[in-house]
Structure 1
Amino acid sequence: MLFQIKSYLKFLWKSKNEHAVHSPFVFNLLTKCFYDKKAKSEYAILNTYRKSFLQNKNTIEVTDFGAGSKIFENNTRQISKIAKTAGISPKRTKLLFRITAYFKPNSILEIGTSLGLATSALALGNPKATVTTLEGCPETARLAQLQLQKFNCTNVESVVTEFESYFRSLQLKLKTETKNYDLIYFDGNHSKKATLDYFDLLLPTVSNDTVWIFDDIHWSPEMEEAWEIIKNHPKVKVTIDTYQWGLVFFRYEQEKEHFIIRAS
């Protein structure tokens, strides 16, 4: 906890808003997407999706392949508490929806479905997109699948799998065919090794317009180390650190730039 407080204070000290940004690409993203205060009809759907889980007092047995939880002491967890503490926040759900609507990605990959709170934002952000969401825990995935069907998120393909085995099979496919993901949301394993492994395994799927979003880049010292390595990778051209998220862009035509931005 002390680490995260210090990390956040450092972020506040260094962070800027749109007035300090000279990149047209980033300036437009901030003013037309990040700071867009207009009401969206989809927000009500996202809120209702979340509310139904917040009211669910049943428990499930969670299979956790990631770095573990700082909230829960064991794997028997109440659904309402998962929705309240372990999922994406309401504010970030709306921002993820706006980012998806802004870039209009056709092919989306989500690493870590959980209850599908972020999945619903991705699906509603561009209903024409194909959203593939990966979840290692069968029970959590089942709940998300039922909820996504209930809310007519018909453009979602849910895959229950261990992430690394999925990426290995993807690598084999990439030897004979081209596969691009226009947007990838990384929220499945908050460890340095896993984050960097996923980064390397998925690099062959990027295009000039690909957007990657890494969740919890300041979750631990090792996640901050992973973020620094990602920022310095030669294929990465633009990054935006919003404290909770790290956004990565591979725009071949752009000079390398890093931004620390207050999301709102």
Structure 2
Amino acid sequence: MLKIIKSYLNFLWNSKNEHGVHSPFVFNLVTKCFYDKKQYPEYTILKNYRNSLLKNKNTIEVTDFGAGSKVFKSNKRQIAKIAKTAGISPKRAELLFRITNYFQPSTILEIGTSLGLATTALSLGNKTSKITSLEGCPNTLYQCQLQLQSRSFGTIFKNVECINTEFSSYLKNFQLPTSSFQLIYFDGNHSKQATLDYFEMLLPTITNETVWIFDDIHWSIEMEEAWEKIQQHPKVTVTIDTFQWGIVFFRVEQKKEHFVIRV
């Protein structure tokens, strides 16, 4: 906890709003997307789905996987508590919706479905996109599909393919060099090595329009080290630190630049 507080104070000291941004690309992203105050009707759907999970007192067996298919934790957890502690926050879900709505990616990869809170934001952001969402725990994924395929939320999830898999195994076996994902949301394994492994494995899919979002970049010292290495990679041009997320672009026309933005 002390580490996160220290990181956040450092973030606040270095962060800027739109007035400190001189890149037209990033300025437009900040003003037209990050700081967009419009009350989208999709926000109500996100809120309703979250509330439906928070009211669900059923307990399921949750299995988490480490890198290399190693199971490192299995326990019983209440669905409401998973949604409250492990799911994306309401504010971040709305921001993820806006980012997807802003860039309109036609193909999206999500690493870490959980109960589908972020998945729903991605799906609502571009209803015509093709979304592939990976989840390691079969019970969690089943509950996610059960909820989102219900009468209330089923129409949201039609553009999403959920796959129960260990992330590294899937990425190693997938035909990555012949595929591309215009947006990737990394929220499946908050360890340095796994994050860097996924980064390297998915590099063959990048295009000039690619957007990558890494969750919990200040979660630990190791995650901050992973974030630093990602920023320094020669194929990476623009990076944005919003504290919770690290957002990465590979736009060749942009000079290499790093931004710390309050959202």
- Report the TM-score when normalising by structure 2: 0.95
* 1:148 Cα deviation after fit: 2.1
Secondary structure in 2 aligned to 1:62? strand
Alpha-carbon separation, structure 2, partners of 1:254 and 1:95:
23
Aligned to 1:34: 34
Cα contact 1:182–1:207 (8 A) shared by 2: yes
Aligned to 1:99: 99
1:156 counterpart = 2:166: no
Cα contact 1:113–1:133 (8 A) shared by 2: yes
1:206 counterpart = 2:210: no
Alpha-carbon separation, structure 2, partners of 1:261 and 1:66:
31
Q: How does 1:74-223 map to 2 (within 5 A)?
A: 75-150=75-150, 151=153, 152=155, 153-170=157-174, 173-174=175-176, 178-223=178-223
* 1:145 Cα deviation after fit: 1.2
* 1:147 Cα deviation after fit: 1.9
CA deviation string 1:152-178 (max 9, x = no partner): 1200000000000000111xx246xx2
1:21 counterpart = 2:25: no
Partner amino acid for 1:14?
N
Percent identical pairs in the alignment equals 71
CA deviation string 1:197-249 (max 9, x = no partner): 00000000010000000000000000000000000000000000000000000
Across the aligned residues of Structure 1 and Structure 2, the Cα RMSD in angstroms comes to: 1.2
1:47 counterpart = 2:47: yes
Cα contact 2:107–2:130 (8 A) shared by 1: yes
Alpha-carbon separation, structure 1, partners of 2:75 and 2:113:
17
Alpha-carbon separation, structure 1, partners of 2:166 and 2:144:
17
* Structure 1 residue runs of 4 or more that deviate by more than 4 Å after TM superposition: none
Aligned to 2:243: 243
Alpha-carbon separation, structure 2, partners of 1:107 and 1:149:
21
Cα contact 2:176–2:202 (8 A) shared by 1: no
CA deviation string 1:54-75 (max 9, x = no partner): 00011111001149xxxxx972
- Report the TM-score when normalising by structure 1: 0.94
CA 174–4 in structure 1, closer or farther in 2 if over 3 Å, else same: closer
Aligned to 1:70: none
Partner amino acid for 2:169?
S
Secondary structure in 1 aligned to 2:248? strand
Partner amino acid for 1:35?
Y
Cα contact 1:108–1:183 (8 A) shared by 2: yes
CA deviation string 1:45-98 (max 9, x = no partner): 11111100000011111001149xxxxx97211110111111100000000000
Partner amino acid for 1:147?
Q
List alignment gaps of at least 5 residues for structure 1.
Answer: 68-72
* 1:260 Cα deviation after fit: 0.4
Alignment length (residue pairs): 254
* 1:104 Cα deviation after fit: 0.1
Aligned to 1:258: 258
